[in-house]
Amino acid sequence: MSVSINRLAKVCIISGDGIGPDVINATIPVLDAVQDVVKGLQIEYVFAEAGLRSIAKTGQSLPDETKEILKKCDCCLKGPVTTPEEPGSPKSAVVQIRNMFDLYANLRPVRVLPNVPSLKPDIDLLIVRENTEGLYSGIEFMTGPDAAVAVRLITRPACERIARYAFKMAMKRRKQLTYVHKGNILKVTEAIFKDSVLKVAKEFPYVETSEARIDAIAMNLIKNPERYDVIVTTNLFGDVISDEAAQTVGGLGVAPGANIGEDYGMFEPVHGSAPKYEGLDKVNPVATILAAKMMVEWLGSTEAADRIQKAVESVLREGKVMTYDIAPQGVTPAKCSEMGKRIAQEILNQR
C-alpha cells in the first residue's frame, strides 16, 4: 500500500526520547536536500511530542494534541521513544500510533550496505511483521498474587491481510516467502496463522512458499541469512528476529522500518532510544535516514527514494564520514549530525 501525493505532503515529525532527537535532526537535512533536487516533492514538517517528555508534561505517552496533529498529517516520521515498564504505566506511544491508524504491516528490510560489516555478502531480505495483535494485544491481567496472563490474540482476518501484504511484496522481489511460527507448541493460535498463510498462498502461485519454526529461523538467520527473501510472521516473533537480522548487516544503526496501513504510514528506525547515548550526537542516523527513504517512496516519489539510497551508499562506500558503530579501523568516528550533513551534501552533489 502506498499513496501518491501530488501536493505539499504534511509529515508529523516526532523526535522521541534518548537518541531520537539526534537521529531525527540528522535526517531533516537529508529530507531538505532531496526536496531541493527532486521536482514536485514538497514536505511540510509538523513537529509533535510523544514518549517520556510527554508523560512528564501530560501523563500521556501520546498526548491528545499529538493525536490531533497526526490525524491532520499524511504520515509520520518518528524517532524512538522510551516506554516505562512498570505495571500501570502509560502504554507505548508507538503501539498507540500503530493501533490508531491500523498500521498492520511492519516492514523491516535487511540489506547489505557498502563498507558496513555483514555476515554474508549477499543478504537482502524483508521481514513483514503483523503489527496489531499477537502478544502486543495489550491484554494482560493478574490471576492471583503470583500469577499473570498475557493474551496472544490471533485472528484470521489479521493473519490473512498480513499474509496477502507479504505475498504482494514477494511478487515484487525474488518470489520466495517463508512463514514463521511456533505451531508445535502454540497449536491453536498458530493453526490460524498457518491456515491463513496457506489459504492466501493459493492466490500467489508464482511465489515459492516455505515454513520455518521461530527457533530454527533464529539459528538460520545467522547461518544462512542470504537464503531468505520475504519472511512473514506474528508480532513478537517479527520484533525479535528483525533486531537479529539487522545485526547480520551491521546492526541497529542501519536498520529502518515502516508501519503501513490502508491510508497512513509511520516510519521509524528499528532501534530504540539507547538512553546511554542521549545528547552525545554519536549514534548512527542511517536507520532513520533509510526510514525517511521508505517514507518518500510511500508518498509516491521513487526518484527521491532512489536518491537517498544512492547518497547513503556512496557516503558509506567512501568510508570517510562514518559513526562509531561502522567506522573502519583508522577512521575517526563521525558525529551523528556530521553523517546526516554528509549524506545531504551527497544528494545535492548528485544534481
For residue 29, state whether it binds ligand NAD (rule: CB under 6 A): no
Residue nearest to ligand NAD (CB): 272
In Å, how far are 66, 184, 300 from 73, measured between CA atoms? 11, 43, 15
For residue 50, state whether it binds ligand NAD (rule: CB under 6 A): no
Choice between 225 and 340, CB closer to ligand NAD: 340
Choice between 24 and 274, CB closer to ligand NAD: 274
Q: Which residues pair with 134 in a beta bridge?
A: 153
For residue 287, state whether it binds ligand NAD (rule: CB under 6 A): yes
Asked about 91 being catalytic, the answer comes back as no
Q: Give the contacts of 83 (CB within 8 A, at least 6 positions apart).
A: 51, 61, 89, 92, 93, 94
For residue 271, state whether it binds ligand NAD (rule: CB under 6 A): yes
DSSP run (H or E) holding 350 = none
In Å, how far are 58, 62, 66, 75, 84 from 51, measured between CA atoms? 10, 7, 11, 18, 9
CA distance 92 to 95: 5
Q: Which three cell numbers stand for residue 234?
A: 506474528
Site string for ligand NAD, 154-193 (x = CB under 6 A): ----------------------------------------
Please identify which residue in the block is written with the cell numbers 493460535.
189
Asked about 136 being catalytic, the answer comes back as yes
Asked about 310 being catalytic, the answer comes back as no
In Å, how far are 115, 146, 306, 312, 343 from 38, measured between CA atoms? 27, 59, 11, 16, 15
Helix or strand or coil: residue 186? coil
- The residue range among 57-65, 154-162, 224-232, 279-287 that interacts with ligand NAD, by the rule CB under 6 A, is 279-287
Binding-site size for ligand NAD (CB under 6 A) equals: 19
Taking the complex as a whole, how short is the minimal distance between the CB of residue 175 and ligand NAD, in angstroms? 30
For residue 313, state whether it binds ligand NAD (rule: CB under 6 A): no
Taking the complex as a whole, how short is the minimal distance between the CB of residue 304 and ligand NAD, in angstroms? 22
Q: Which of 45, 325, 327, 333 binds ligand NAD (CB under 6 A)?
A: 325
The separation between CA 287 and the C-alpha centre of its own chain, rounded to angstroms, equals 9
Choice between 190 and 268, CB closer to ligand NAD: 268
For residue 338, state whether it binds ligand NAD (rule: CB under 6 A): no
Choice between 80 and 90, CB closer to ligand NAD: 80
CA distance 82 to 19: 10
Choice between 41 and 344, CB closer to ligand NAD: 344
Q: Which of 131, 189, 273, 301 binds ligand NAD (CB under 6 A)?
A: 273
Please report, to the nearest 10 degrees, the dihedral formed by the alpha carbons of residues 28, 30, 35, 37 taken in order: 160
Q: Which one of 36, 57, 122, 215 is the catalytic residue?
A: 215
- Beta strands in 120-264, from DSSP E residues, in sequence order: 124-130, 140-144, 147-150, 176-181, 208-213, 230-233, 256-260
Q: Which residues pair with 140 in a beta bridge?
A: 150
Residue type, 66: T
Asked about 243 being catalytic, the answer comes back as yes
Residue type, 177: L
Q: Which of 11, 34, 43, 283 binds ligand NAD (CB under 6 A)?
A: 283
- The residue range among 58-66, 204-212, 222-230, 283-291 that interacts with ligand NAD, by the rule CB under 6 A, is 283-291
Task: Name which of residues 54 to 113 contact ligand NAD (CB under 6 A).
Answer: 80-83, 94
CA distance 82 to 18: 7
Residues noted as catalytic: 136, 182, 215, 239, 243
State the residues that interact with ligand NAD by CB under 6 A: 19, 23, 80-83, 94, 252-253, 268, 271-274, 276, 283-284, 287, 325
